[in-house]
Homo-oligomer: A and B are copies of this chain.
């Protein structure tokens, strides 16, 4: 078994996308599936999944690999649909043209849909050796992707006049991080419930770090006042707490995340992972002091 999580994630993703292109297949849609999933970003969510799975024993590595691939496929699907003209109307994603610009709007809708199907198919195909774990993984992925607790709900809140902020953040950003920690645990035969808090806190930290990056990036490059509401009027930790307050908040959340790690064989290694993750999130502070 290859023990490098990044290599395992990439291999599982490549295999899944190749499966979706087996002949006969419409070639442009097949190409768009590859385009939307490679070279990829930091693969943060499946990496967290693999870390938790490793800490819990990784006794069904093929199931864990499929779960990681499925989670990243779902994340990629959400990016393709979020970039559509009717949502963010983004021209670029990960340094290249967004799918609807590089292909077409119909193909972008179909790419998102196909990646969602592929996520569930990949997971369902890998679960024969541990059917109960497989079903639980499928339930978690569906719940944290759909309505009312998943990323669809998160986007849906942006069409409401009155937003439930807690539900909005939990579904928009938290959902796939909760899926990451819970699926990592379940793939290794553990209960899902104790792992919800870790995922929720990592998601919260991610959100605050994102708000900080937005605010500091604006201040440095655009001369806009730090801490203003972002362009889409979404609530921001920086607007609420200021930059220094948001940095303190980020550190508190990550401490809480470490404290929430359930007892498991790899508890120490997992705490180390969260600390490393915290260091990756906080280079915003030096950037701020330069501004």
For A160, the chain B residues whose CB sits under 8 A away are 26-28
- A150, B109: Cβ atoms under 8 Å? no
Asked if A118 lies at the interface with its beta carbon under 8 angstroms from chain B, I say yes
Q: Which of B105, B125, B153 contacts A26 (CB 8 A)?
A: B153
Determine whether the beta carbon of A142 is less than 8 Å from that of B167: no
Q: Which residues of B contact A141 (CB under 8 A)?
A: 120
CA of A153 to CA of B105 in the docked complex: distance in angstroms?
A: 15
B-chain residues with CB within 8 Å of residue A120 when the two chains form the complex: 120, 138, 141-142
Give the residue among A25, A26, A33, A142 with the most B Cβ atoms within 10 A. Answer: A26
Write the nearest CB–CB distance from A34 to chain B, whole angstroms: 11
Does any Cβ of B come within 8 Å of A177's Cβ?
no
- Chain B residues with CB under 8 Å of A155's CB are 106, 110
Does A91 make an interface contact (CB < 8 A)?
A: no
Count class of interface residues, chain A = 35 or more
Residues of chain B with a CB closer than 8 A to A125's CB: 139
- Asked if A29 is at the interface of the complex by the 8 Å CB criterion, the answer is yes
Residues of A11-51 contacting chain B, CB below 8 A:
20-30, 33
Q: Which stretch, A128-136, A243-251, A257-265, touches the partner chain B? A: A128-136
Q: Is A156 engaged at the interface, CB distance under 8 Å to the other chain?
A: yes
Which of A80-88, A180-188, A207-215, A223-231 lies on the face that meets chain B?
A: A80-88
A41-86 interface (Cβ within 8 A of B)? 81, 84, 86
- Bound-state CA distance A28–B148 (Å) is 12
| List of B residues within 8 angstroms of A26 by Cβ | 147-148, 153, 156-157, 159-160
